[in-house]
Amino acid sequence: MTSAEEKVEQNLLEEAKILLNRGLTLQRLEKYESAMEVFDEVLTFKPDCSEAHLLKGSLLGRMGLCSKALESYDKALKFNPCLAEAFFMKGATLESLNRHEEAVVCYDRAVEIDPDSVEIQFHKLLSLQKLARFKEALECCDAALSKRPDYPLAYCYKGIVKTNMGNCKEALLEFDCALELDPDFHAAMVGKSVALAKLGRNVESTALRKKVSDEMHLHK
């Protein structure tokens, strides 16, 4: 590429960046059609802009156009095969369509590229749990907690997975860890109440459910 061509390419990148930021602003304002026009404008002069395809896919997903969103993520990955966010967003879209096997494949690729992402591990465990691949789901919880030991949601889902595996006594310990970090974490309370009920500790289970119900009523 000549210096003149490099300068043209740099100008295109700068223009694309400005437009993409404008599109994101419009998307946050829920002006979806206007945002889409901006993303498409970028792709008219920079069709290989993986970020534009990624943002367009995210917007299409928000609009409920999941098939088109998947196409956009594939285009983003065509131009940047190492774009972890595209694999993650594609996985999340597949997850929303209950295509969990495919979602896990995407999450695995995303984790390979970005092994430190707690969010990817969390979504992966959701799909694994739906597939009843509980051992792998626990591994995701542990991976998330190794990066973020103060993450109550990971402890909560670890408790849910262990409850589904029938390890209710161990599950109670996980829910207690979640509640120690966040005493007002209702999902952990509900999960704990389910584990207690499965252990035959119905009085404690009922009391915990009542506590959740009362607190939610107070915050309405």
Looking at the domain that runs over 82-149, which CATH code has it been given?
1.25.40.10
- CA torsion angle 9 15 19 24 (round to 10): 70
For 181-218, the pLDDT digits (tens) are 999 999 999 999 999 999 999 999 999 999 998 888 77
The pLDDT value given to residue 5: 46
Level-2 CATH architecture, domain 1-77: Alpha Horseshoe (1.25)
Confidence of residue 4 (pLDDT cuts 50, 70, 90): very low
- Determine contact, residues 72/56, Cβ cutoff 8 Å: yes
State the Cα–Cα distance between residues 27 and 23, nearest whole angstrom: 6
CATH 3.40.50.170, applies to 151-220: no
Domain ranges across the chain = 1-77, 82-149, 151-220
Element counts in the chain: helices (H) and strands (E): 12, 0
For 177-186, the pLDDT digits (tens) are 999 999 999 9
Q: Hey, do 82-149 and 151-220 end up sharing a CATH topology, with the first three levels equal?
A: yes
